[in-house]
Amino acid sequence: MEKYMSRCSNKFIAYMPDGATSIDTNPIYTNGITPNPIPQITSVFSHDYLIARRCFFFDLMPFDGAPPCDEQTQPVGMDASVFRAILLRRYEMADGAFGQFIGFAPWHLKYSNWNGGFNKYEPIDLEWAVAQLVTAYNLAKEADAAHPCWVSNASAYYKSPIRENYAGNKLPAAAKVFDPNTVYILMYLGDYDSSAWMKAQVPRMWQDPYKDSAPNAWAFDPNLIERIPMAFDYVYENLGPTDYFVAGDAGAGYVVPYNLFESGMRPRADATQKWMEYNRPYLSRMGLDICGFITNGGQLIDKKIMALYSKMFPAGNLHSEGNGSLEVYDGVAFVHFSDGLAASVIEDPDRLAKVMYVHIKTGMRKYNFAAFGTVCITPTDNKAIREAFLAFAKKTDLRTTYEFVDPYTFFDLIRQSGQGVRVPLD
């Protein structure tokens, strides 16, 4: 850090696995994946891009409570202390401006209890610890999570010109009128907070024969355009009649919003203005006014977050945190969604139909609206889930109509209905 960091970028920083997994004398050499991990697992194929961006590289554990598993004689807390020192140095180099943290907690290799791992921490706890920490130092994460966790040849891709504006979302041709006997359902298609995931998934999603069979709210984090602009050219140029774009995890990039505000973790003052400045050019260029997933680390979506996100995303917001299922702040809806309908479990659409029905009848029982978050499901999968749900609902509830709608219609119908808890502005 002392020798090299001043020569590195103040915007991009790389959190990449180091070589410990490939050293046969290291405690984590045999880690449950393979004795000598293949380069894809250790993200080596991303390094050309990170070097082109002049990234400072590091790999440290964020927790204070135990030594890292790959250096077990180290004093407890040293990894985390140096982690924070590196983040603070980048913060000071950028005068507090938001930057891009490229990488992900390496739970599949170290620092977690995954597959008999060497540390006590759950993978999700490791993910949240890193996300909370980097947010506190004004970094938005580009989450190169396993798996895939690499993008080959991005040192060439990123030089593709970025357009000034992308002609994206068009409002539906005809507005719907709210019907109190209908439940309106929105499907959020994520998680695309990583260039690696977006590059891997977009071709099969866009070539799926059922892509235009129903409304799709695609959530590609806007800051991914820094690495794979050609992918955004492709999806915008091939926008179908039922395709809509929303921001993904927490806005232009993956942050934990409660850590934007003054807290014990932040080294400096409230970062809400800096976060808005970071988001503004991305959202304007891509015409985004809906946040599809406010990721808040298990914390409630409070009034401070609502005040911030109602300015950034005035058309509407979704989140998965455990407070009110439908709240309205200054005319902007914040809707709790049921997340986790992943590609790995869609082989049982009948079971998912029951999960969706229970969420509607319990979590959203007061309202005519429900949203569901998905992870890398194809339009074909989405069609199977819709059909299974409608068939199940038809047998179970004869008095209610269920309709899948696009995100703009969804939030417009909420406004028409007058439903939701009004959150006081003061």
Cα separation, 236 vs 44, in Å, equals 30
pLDDT value at residue 75: 94
The pLDDT value given to residue 234: 95
| DSSP assigned state of 32 | S
In the three-class reduction of DSSP (H, G, I as helix; E, B as strand; rest coil), residue 333 is classed as strand
* Per-residue pLDDT, 33: 54
**Under 8 Å between Cβ of 240 and 169:** no
* Radius of gyration of the chain measured on its C-alpha atoms: 22
pLDDT at residue number 174: 79
Residues in the chain with pLDDT < 70?
30-37, 115-117, 323, 342-346
Q: What is the pLDDT of residue 345?
A: 61
Q: pTM (2 decimals)? A: 0.93
Distance CA 107, CA 135 (A): 19
Q: What is the pLDDT of residue 42?
A: 85
What is the C-alpha separation between 424 and 426, in angstroms, rounded? 6
Q: Give the pLDDT score at 179.
A: 97
pLDDT given for residue 233 in this prediction: 95
Tell me the domains of the chain and their CATH numbers: 5-157 (no CATH), 182-423 (3.20.20.490)
pLDDT score recorded for residue 311: 96
The two three-digit tokens of residue 12, written as one number? 């991009």
To the nearest 10°, the Cα dihedral for 165, 201, 34, 40? Answer: -30
What does the pLDDT read at residue 323?
Answer: 67
SS3 per-residue string spanning 360-409: HHHHCCCCCEEEEEEECCCHHHHHHHHHHHHHHHHHHCCCCEEEECCHHH
